[in-house]
Structure formats: C-alpha cells, structure tokens
C-alpha cells in the first residue's frame, strides 16, 4: 500500500523518520512529504491540499493518507478531491474537519507563522515529550505560510464520507470521542456522516511520533489497510 504521510504545522517530511522503517517492514511504500513553505509565495491550505493530490495522482493504486494534527485538514481535503483514489484516511490526534474549518490561529509575523514555543500548547499535549526532544523539534521547526492555519478547507464531495477512517487519538477512545465532538458543532456532524470509523487511543500527547516512536509506528502500520 502507498502511504502518504502528511505532517502537521511546523513539521516536514523528516517528522516521519521513525515511522517509515516500520511501514516499509510491513510491506508498505511510505511517502513522507514536505508541504510548500513560507518561501513559496502566497500559500494557502488549498495549495497544501493540491500538493497531496499530486502525490495521490502519482500513485498507481489507491493510497492511504495519514495526517498529523493540522495535516488532518489537508488529508481530508485531498480525500474529498480524490475520493475514488483513497483507501483510508488516518488522523493522528485530530478528527475529520467539516467544510470551511480552519486549523487554528497563531501569531503571524511578516506573512509567516513561526513555531510559537511549547508554552503555547496545553500541558497534556506535551507532557510526554522530554526536554531534549522538545529542543530538537523546535530547532528543526519550519515557518508556516501565514494563511494556512486560518484558511477554511474546501470540502464539496460527499463521497468522502464513504472512505474508511481511523483516528489515532492521544487521549480519547471510541466511547469518549463522540462526547467531546458534541461540543464542537459541525465537527460532530462531519464525524457522524463518516460510514466507517475506528478510534484507537494511544495514551500519548499530541506528538506520538516523537514521544513514543516505536509503539506509534507499530500502531500506525496496523491501521494501514
């Protein structure tokens, strides 16, 4: 299976380095990607989606899309654009966004969104990342094009709801996730329209590829099918 690995904000293809060997050993073809950066001009979420769609079109067979955090919006947008070419979407500590949803708001500096520092995140999201790993991630963080986090994702093809979805959640499981989404309005509606959903609790923070790389890689490999 071709597996397209989509990073979240401030990350690039290297954020999947610990995952690729396990996917390869399981017989999959991993395609970690780096999305267009702030130096590429006036980039929005549609450009990120287009970059993933181009990867889908290069594959001979249907693909699995894996989106971490804000990369989940990109994955769902690409699945919407190519619903007949996506075998599954795996969301890593995020959920399928509804039409028009944005990732989040962060300070924009000269048209870029720099990494805001670890204090910008809730403690449960970062509690399992040690200091050395935090320094390494921050040192390698890439600026995000200014419009990307607040652009609404375009979703127009209801066939996306027929694509199987796996949610690898840090702290939520199949019993608790619907209750949380019930407070998020349109997110609950989108989630409810997906015909085939599996939820797996990781017992991790928001960045399991860094905090529990080996166990996360195994769980992800099991989810790819």
Give 74-130 pLDDT, tens digit per residue. Answer: 999 999 999 999 999 999 999 999 999 999 999 999 999 999 999 999 999 999 999
Structural domain count, the chain: 1
| pLDDT above 90 for 41 | no
* Model pTM score: 0.97
Residue with the bigger pLDDT between 40 and 164: it is: 164
> How high is the pLDDT of residue 38?
82
The DSSP code for 221 is H
Closest CA to 104 of 9, 208, 5: 9
DSSP state letters, 123-185: HHHHTTS-HHHHHHHHHH--PEETTGGGSPPP---GGGGGS-EEEEESS--TTTHHHHHGGGT
pLDDT bracket for residue 40 (50, 70, 90): confident
Closest CA to 129 of 15, 205, 18: 205
The DSSP code for 94 is -
Instruction: Give me the chain's average pLDDT, please.
Output: 97
Domain housing 159? 2-223
Percent of the chain at pLDDT > 90 equals 97
Measured distance CA(184)–CA(197) in Å, rounded: 18
The DSSP code for 109 is B
Structure tokens at 72: 């989940």
**C-alpha neighbours within 13 Å on the C-beta side of residue 121:** 17
CATH number at residue 98: 3.40.50.1820
Over residues 201-209, mean pLDDT: 98
> How high is the pLDDT of residue 39?
87
pLDDT bracket for residue 45 (50, 70, 90): very high
> How high is the pLDDT of residue 198?
98
Greatest pairwise CA separation for the chain in angstroms: 44
């Amino acid at each position: 299976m071709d597996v397209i690995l989509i990073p979240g904000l401030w990350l690039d293809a290297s954020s999947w380095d610990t995952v690729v060997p396990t996917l390869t050993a399981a017989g999959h073809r991993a395609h970690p990607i780096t999305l267009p950066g702030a130096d590429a001009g006036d980039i929005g979420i549609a450009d990120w989606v287009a970059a993933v769609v181009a990867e889908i079109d290069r594959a001979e067979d249907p693909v699995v899309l894996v989106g971490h955090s804000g990369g989940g919006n990109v994955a769902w947008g690409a699945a919407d654009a190519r619903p007949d070419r996506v075998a599954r979407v795996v969301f890593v500590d995020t959920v399928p966004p509804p039409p028009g949803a944005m990732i989040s708001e962060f300070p924009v500096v000269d048209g870029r969104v720099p990494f805001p520092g670890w204090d910008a995140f809730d403690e449960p999201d970062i509690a399992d990342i040690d200091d050395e790993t935090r320094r390494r991630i921050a040192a390698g963080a890439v600026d995000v094009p200014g419009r990307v986090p607040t652009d609404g994702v375009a979703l127009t093809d209801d066939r996306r709801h027929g694509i199987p979805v796996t949610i690898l959640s840090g702290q939520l499981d199949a019993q608790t996730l619907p209750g949380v989404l019930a407070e998020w309005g349109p997110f609950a509606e989108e989630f409810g329209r997906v015909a085939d959903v599996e939820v797996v609790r990781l017992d991790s923070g928001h960045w399991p590829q860094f905090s529990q790389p080996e166990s996360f890689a195994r769980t992800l490999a099991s989810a790819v099918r």
